[in-house]
Structure 1
Amino acid sequence: MKHENKNKNIIVFTGPSLQPTEAKEFLEADYRPPVARDDVIKALRDNPDIIVIIDGVFHKAPAVSHKEIMEAIKKGVIVVGGASMGALRASELDDFGMVGVGMVYRDYRKGVIESDDDVAVVINPETFEQLSEAFISMNYTFKAAMAKGIINKSDFETLIKTAKSIYYPKRNYNKVLKEVDIEEKRKKLIQKFLKDNTIDVKKEDAIAVLKYVKKL
């Protein structure tokens, strides 16, 4: 690369996975709200060297298209994705030059998760605060509970099936435990585990994406 990263024009689309105020601790960049259709095209007008896609809209408005990401890549822009919408698009476009980073990206690539619903959350439109829980984070959290012997494989499968059945805006740990068919004694053990052991895989991946970009 021609210059130091700090002199590059970097545009980052983020929101619930990692708030811009937190993100700035890891990378100086032009932070913008979760990406929607045509936002990448608009971003190209500012001549970015790197575009980072972490969060994006899913159901409330048209999602960022493959075509506009491809347009950015064709123009020589490095496009990096991870954590949420970025992970999904990177899994679909990495053969065409988009760079994927993180566990969520790898899970999409492996087919462990397949739909946008697996990373979708409902957010406060003003603050981008996350108001529901991502299925993918629940998956990692319940796996951790199983690894520690809090639940067995059958419990894990029941919890995951229940979580998946809940429409994403209403998905949270309390609702899953309320609806899941597991004995009360074990539910209490799970609740105790969740107090200090929930895994926010999307946030972890968002940080990994920014650290990757900083090293470019």
Structure 2
Amino acid sequence: MEKRTQEMSEEKKVLIFAGSSISHEDASKVLDATYWPPISRGDLDRAMEQGYNIIGIIDGIFFSRAAVAHKEVIRAMKGGATIVGGCSMGALRASELDVHGMIGVGKVYEWYRDGVIEDDDEVAVATYPDTFEPASSPMVNIRETLRSAFHTGILSEEECTSITLLAKRTHYSERSYFGITKEAHREGILPEERSKELLKFCTENECDVKRDDALLVLEKVRQIINE
């Protein structure tokens, strides 16, 4: 029995694509797996060649290089891989390919699946090239944080809507709470003191939807490993 259990364990080779929504260091504290940088075109084929058969897609490349193609994901699943997606690129591809067997988890996946959001830029961020850490704030986080500010009473519903639209008009690589609140004051949506109050709230109480969803991907992969 012990030998059989060991053989079954060795059959499960786990790979996670991440780095922007959650660092490899933090992710490895949750799940013991191999971690590669955000996924781009060709990485899934390489992973399959190396024998990985349980794959979690969290982060991916959007605009600087070719993104992972739908046919790559389908090819990997037909080759026997179980693929879980959520949070960022993983959520986007899972919402498009769950009908083909890709497993989607998390709030962002559900938003894409249900048509609440549609654009790639909702989860895209500028990153530092060496570490893949985010250098801008993702739109999905901004949406939830501004909604939280509304529910807390810091913003009216109209102000929340106006500032959300302002953030959406901003290029994904330039989105930040500092820039958004400053522009909200410049456009006359908020007076200066309230824009400063909003900035303080956002920086201290950000709703990090992407990190929460990244953790859900790791937990789902853990469940699959233990099945």
**1:211 aligned partner:** 219
TM-score for both structures, normalised by structure 1 = 0.95
Q: Contact 2:70 / 2:97 at 8 angstroms: preserved in 1?
A: yes
- Could you tell me which amino acid in structure 2 is paired with residue 35 of structure 1? I
Change (3 A) 1:4 1:215: farther
Q: How many residues align?
A: 216
What letter is aligned with 1:183?
A: P
Give the structure 1 partner of residue 207 of structure 2: 199
Q: Which residue of 1 aligns with 2:55?
A: 51
**1:120-179 Cα deviation digits (max 9, x unpaired):** 000011011110000000001111111111111101111110100111111101111111
- Which residue does the alignment assign to 2:93? 89
CA contact 1:135–1:164 (8 Å) conserved in 2: yes
Maintained 8 Å contact 2:177/2:203: no
Unmatched tracts of structure 2, length 5 or more:
none
Deviations 1:75-123 (A, max 9, x none): 1210000000000000000011000010110111111111110000000
Please report the RMSD computed on the Cα atoms of aligned residues, expressed in angstroms. Answer: 1.7
Displacement of 1:192: 2.7
Match of 1:71 among 59, 70, 75: 75
* Structure 2 CA distance for aligned equivalents of residues 173 and 13 of structure 1: 27
Q: Name segments (4+ residues, structure 1) moved above 3 Å.
A: 1-7
Q: Which runs of 5+ in 1 are unaligned?
A: none
Report the equivalent of 1:118: 122
- Give a deviation string over 1:18-66, Cα, whole Å, max 9, x none: 1101000111111001000011011100111211110000000000000
Identical pairs, percent: 42
Q: 1:170 maps to which residue? A: 174
* Higher share of residues assigned helix: 2
Match of 2:147 in 1: 143
3-state DSSP class of the match of 1:24?
helix
